[in-house]
């Protein structure tokens, strides 16, 4: 039931908000989107078609990702998550949407993540779920 609800929020976000945002993706997003059932992969490919890539210096991204792991903002094995956050930070992304509440959109680890990103000289994006994003929009209405 939770997965279905999450998917419904994602579809609502895509329907109501995606066209209002300047969406950028990274190679890490592309790689992860290629996993899963073929129909889901095709739907994600269609959504990503024509989207801009987040322009970021990969040396800076790599250094920041390593720092996030070194300072325990994320568990050592969550390298891809560290690169997601680092890419968004170095590229100056405002909001990073994810359903990964265990390591990324986690209110307990976010303060440390933000501190590390700021210390490295970057702006940490707001990291949230599509549901949280929609809830914030609904509150503004």
Q: Give the pLDDT confidence of 15-67 residue by residue, as tens digits.
A: 999 989 999 999 999 999 999 999 989 998 998 998 999 999 999 999 999 99
0.75 surpassed by pTM = yes
Q: State how far the Cα of 57 lies from the Cα of 87, in Å rounded to an integer.
A: 8
**CA nearest 114: which of 89, 133, 83, 90?**
89
Q: Give the pLDDT confidence of 62-115 residue by residue, as tens digits.
A: 999 999 999 999 999 999 999 999 999 999 999 999 999 999 999 999 999 999
């Amino acid at each position: 039931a939770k997965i279905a609800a999450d998917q419904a929020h994602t579809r609502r976000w895509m329907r109501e908000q995606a066209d209002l945002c300047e969406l950028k993706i990274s190679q890490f997003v592309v790689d992860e989107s290629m996993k899963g059932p073929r129909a889901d992969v095709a739907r994600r490919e269609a959504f990503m078609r024509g989207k801009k890539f987040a322009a970021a210096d990969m040396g800076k991204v790599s250094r920041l990702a390593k720092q996030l792991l070194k300072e325990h903002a994320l568990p050592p094995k969550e390298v891809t998550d560290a690169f997601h956050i680092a890419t968004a930070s170095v590229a100056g992304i405002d909001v990073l949407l994810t359903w990964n509440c265990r390591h990324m959109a986690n209110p307990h680890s976010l303060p440390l993540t933000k501190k590390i990103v700021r210390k490295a000289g970057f702006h940490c994006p707001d990291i949230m779920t599509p549901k949280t994003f929609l809830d914030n929009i609904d509150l503004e209405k």
